[in-house]
């Protein structure tokens, strides 16, 4: 039976996973979610289809990035931002 020894991701070519051994965080599955989102161009679709009613004057992260972070939090079982700290 063939096994997957190493997998590089489309959303970040510098990131890879292997199944040789080691430790894994419980949130590691989010990497696969990110890969799925990259596969169907989530960022492009969100910018095109989701419109935010907000006029922020100073910000570091786009609304689409914040949406993506919220999706990751919900998938991982965190109900609020305070739980992820």
> What predicted TM-score, i.e. pTM, was given to this entire model?
0.63
Of 61, 68, 60, the residue nearest 43 (C-alpha): 68
- Give per-residue pLDDT as tens, 21-63: 666 666 677 888 888 898 899 999 999 999 888 787 888 888 8
Side-chain half-sphere exposure of 62, counting CA atoms within 13 A: 9
pLDDT at 17: 66
pLDDT above 80 (res 69): yes
For residues 9 and 38, is the Cβ–Cβ distance under 8 A?
yes
User: Higher-confidence residue: 24 or 13?
Assistant: 13
Other CB atoms within 10 A of residue 34 CB: 19
* Domains of the chain, residue spans: 27-84
């Amino acid at each position: 039976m063939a096994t997957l020894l190493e997998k590089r991701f489309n959303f970040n070519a510098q990131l890879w996973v292997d199944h040789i051994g080691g430790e894994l965080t419980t949130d590691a599955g989010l990497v696969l979610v990110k890969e799925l989102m990259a596969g169907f161009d989530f960022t492009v679709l969100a910018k095109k289809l989701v419109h935010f009613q907000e006029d922020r004057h100073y910000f570091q992260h786009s609304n689409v990035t914040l949406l993506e972070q919220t999706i990751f939090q919900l998938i991982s079982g965190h109900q609020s931002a305070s739980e992820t700290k």
